[in-house]
Structures are given as C-alpha cells and as structure tokens.
Amino acid sequence: MFFKLLKDALKVKHVRNKIFYTLFIILVFRIGTHITVPGINAKSLEQLSDLPFLNMLNLVSGNAMRNFSVFSMGVSPYITASIVVQLLQMDILPKFVEWGKQGEVGRRKLNQATRYISLALAFIQSIGITAGFNTLSSVALVKNPDIKTYMLIGALLTTGSMIVTWLGEQITDKGFGNGVSMIIFAGIISSIPSAISTIYQDFFVNVRATDMMSSYIYVAILIFAVLAIVFFTTFVQQAEYKIPIQYTKLAQGAPTSSYLPLKVNPAGVIPVIFASSITTIPSTIIPFFQHGKDIPWLTTLQNVLNYQTPTGMLIYAVLIILFSFFYTFVQVNPEKTAENLQKSASYIPRVRPGRETEEYMSSTLKKLATIGSVFLAFISLTPIAAQQMLNLSSSIALGGTSLLILISTGIEGMKQLEGYLLKRQYVGFMNTAE
C-alpha cells in the first residue's frame, strides 16, 4: 500500500515537488550533523555513550549530538519554547492570550515570541551541555576550555539550532509532514544501521559457540518485540472514535446524519517529543554547576531525574501524560467545536447545542487523552524497564520512543499524501464538470 501510494504521489508534479523538497531539506540537515564544532574533540563522547541523557539528547536532536555537530541542539530549544508559549496563552500572560485570539496576525506574533525564547534557551543549553560533557569526560571535550571558547561554541550551537528550526519550518510550509517530527524521524532512520551493527557485534562477533543459541533466541525475541510494537502502535494511531452528528432540516432539506472522527490518541507523538525534550534540560544544567566536583545533593538530583531510574521513569511517564492531556485540548478545542457545530446547523444526538455540547466534547476528549497517554507511556517506558531488568544494551532503552516517532510520523506523512491525491481528484472532477 505504501509503495502504491508513493508511486501515485510521484506522478503528480505538485506532490512530487513537495516530496523532493522535503528530501532536500533532510539532506541539508544530515550534512550539517557531520560538521563538528571547531575546538571540540568529538571522540571523547564515545566514553559517554552509555550516559542516559546523552542518548536522550541524541534522540531529540535527530542523531546530531553523536558528532557534537553544529546542529547538535536540533529542535529541542524550539520545542521547549513552544511549550512555554502555549502555556502562557492559558490565561497566564494577557498579551499572549490576546495574540492567541487574533487569528493569523496573532499566530505570527506568537511564532516570533517562540523564536526569541528558543534563541535564549539554545544559548543557555549549548553552554550547559558543553561544560557538562567536558566535566564528565576523562578526555577533554573542549580543547581550550575558557570563557571565550565556551561563548564561541554556544554561539555556533545556537546558530545551528536556529537553522534547524528554520529547516523544520520550511518542511512544514513547503514540504509534507510536520517539520520537527520529520527532522527527528530522519535522525532515527540514520541511526538504524548503527543499531543493527551494534546488536550484531554484541551477539554474533567474538561470542563463544556455546552462547550462540542464546544470541539467536535474544535476537528472535527482539524482532518479535519490534514487530509487536509496530503492530500495536499502528493500530492505536489509526484508531478513531466516531461521534454521531445530526444535521437539521433547515440545513439539508431533510434530516441527515454523519459523524465527527476523533483519534483514540488525539495528541499523536508530540507529547513524547515534548517530554523527551524537557527531560534533557535538568541533566544538561546540573553537570555545569558541579564543575567536576562530587556535590551530593546535585548527584542525588541527577539520579532522581535520570529516566533509567524508577523515579526518573515515573517523572518521564507523568510528563508524557500531562503533555498528552495538554496537547489533546490544543488540537481539539471543545468550545470552538461546539460553536462550529452550532453554526453549521448540526448537533450531537441527545446533547443540546452550546454549553452542553462543549461539556460533552471535553468529557470525551479527557477519556481519549487518558487512553492515549497510557498508550504513549507504555510504549516509551517498556523498553527502558526491559533494558534495566535484563541488563540489555543501552541502545534498547529508547527503542520504543524511536519506533513510536517513526511509525507516527510515517502514518501522518501517508495520510497527508492521501489528502493531496484526494484533493487533486476533486479538483480534476470539478474542472471536468466545468
């Protein structure tokens, strides 16, 4: 089905241009991930490859942190800034609330505010990450660690983050798919060969013949687990809850019915990306304050926030759940939905238009958000728990999150392609009718 859809899409010039444009932007991003920041010894990061928050940073940066490239910060600061701006619109900052109600003009102002906040966050995080990794690594990450060098590295990483954010916006505007998700998607895809090679090296190279059978069993279980996650995630991401809609006689000439489709997981994969981005912030700041010294309360705090510890896993799960509820109501506004239904002379059977419809939609969205958040938390945390309990490779820990992003982004991309093709069919039909 995927290849048929892609084949049909490539036949349409407008859609083909969007696909090639997206691939070009991703290629530019991937080239940037191999340009190491000057004055950095990227090989020192190999000693920190098992560090949990380095793996998390690598995930949200689109696999750019591995080489400590100019794009190492990725879209993480922009994601964090987006969360801050969306929260401030919830009757916290009057100016942001006002902009949120101004339509396209207000949206541009909010986007500009998001960029300024992400610029500040990127600079702070850049210096914090550089100083933190330089402290943790036995081989110096920064060749000449002084204030001038840190400021220069911070400026380069901040510039790289702004460029990546701009590239993501170009994908959203002129390509297909969500730009932020597509950049992370591309990074995860690029890391798959390396992950397969690591598994092969760990279980089939320099392994005693007596242990070979256990290696085969492990790989078979791993393949089964991946397929199970793919099937389960695909099923949930495509599942819909259909709310029946009735149209009045005045609107249609005769009573007709339809339905309002809501996804079982309305928030999609965005809550996981949000939670992953937020989780990395304390871990990047704490090493900066330690300065290579063992400060007990900071070490304890870092262990508590580590997503591979029970408390860290709990915090990670809570963040996913909170962002799932938050983003669900961002995606589907009950008040606006009730207002639109009333304007179109339609209603939900046995539910009165107006306030009662809004309350019904809020109640339904809360139930769907509960299902979606539990699903996202389960898929994200199960590999982490399995890695800890079975003492597996650290690359397995974020496997669920990576698969979740891959599948969700892939499904959204396919749906968007289907939408382009369907729109073209309607346009062609109308032109023929004329």
Question: Domain 239-397 falls in which CATH fold?
Answer: Preprotein translocase SecY subunit (1.10.3370)
| More confident of the two residues 376 and 137 | 376
* Cα–Cα distances in angstroms (integers) from residue 122 to residues 1, 39, 169, 192, 228, in the given order: 41, 19, 17, 27, 37
d(C-alpha 134, C-alpha 153), whole Å: 12
Q: Which two structure tokens, joined as six digits, stand for 271?
A: 């809550």
189-239, pLDDT tens digit by residue?
Answer: 888 887 788 777 777 777 777 777 887 888 888 888 888 888 888 888 888
Q: Residues, the chain, total?
A: 434
| pLDDT value at 48 more than 50 | yes
Q: Which DSSP symbol is given to 361? A: H
What's the burial of 42, exposed, middle or buried (CB within 10 Å: 0-12/13-18/19+)? middle
| More confident of the two residues 388 and 325 | 325
Which residues are CB-neighbours of 317 under 8 A, at least 6 positions away?
Answer: 377, 380, 381
Lowest-pLDDT range of 61-65, 158-162, 298-302, 309-313:
298-302
Q: Which two structure tokens, joined as six digits, stand for 372?
A: 């979606």
d(C-alpha 151, C-alpha 156), whole Å: 9
d(C-alpha 378, C-alpha 384), whole Å: 10
State the CB neighbour count (10 A cutoff) for residue 282.
15
Reported confidence tier of residue 288, pLDDT bands at 50, 70, 90: low
Chain position carrying tokens 């650290």: 394
Average pLDDT score over the chain: 81
Reported confidence tier of residue 25, pLDDT bands at 50, 70, 90: very high
Q: What pLDDT, on a 0 to 100 scale, did the predictor assign at position 397?
A: 64
Gyration radius of the chain's alpha carbons: 24
* Domain spans in the chain, listed from the N-terminal domain onward: 239-397
Torsion sign (Cα): 123, 127, 130, 136: negative
State the CB neighbour count (10 A cutoff) for residue 67.
18
Q: Which two structure tokens, joined as six digits, stand for 46?
A: 């190999």
d(C-alpha 356, C-alpha 362), whole Å: 10
| pLDDT value at 431 more than 50 | no
Angle between helices 296-305 and 270-290 (to 10 degrees): 170
Torsion sign (Cα): 404, 406, 409, 412: negative
- What whole-number percentage of the chain has pLDDT above 90? 10
288 and 132 Cβ atoms separated by less than 8 Å: yes
Reported confidence tier of residue 59, pLDDT bands at 50, 70, 90: confident
381-428, pLDDT tens digit by residue?
Answer: 888 887 777 666 666 666 778 888 888 888 888 888 777 777 666 555
What's the predicted TM-score (pTM) here? 0.80
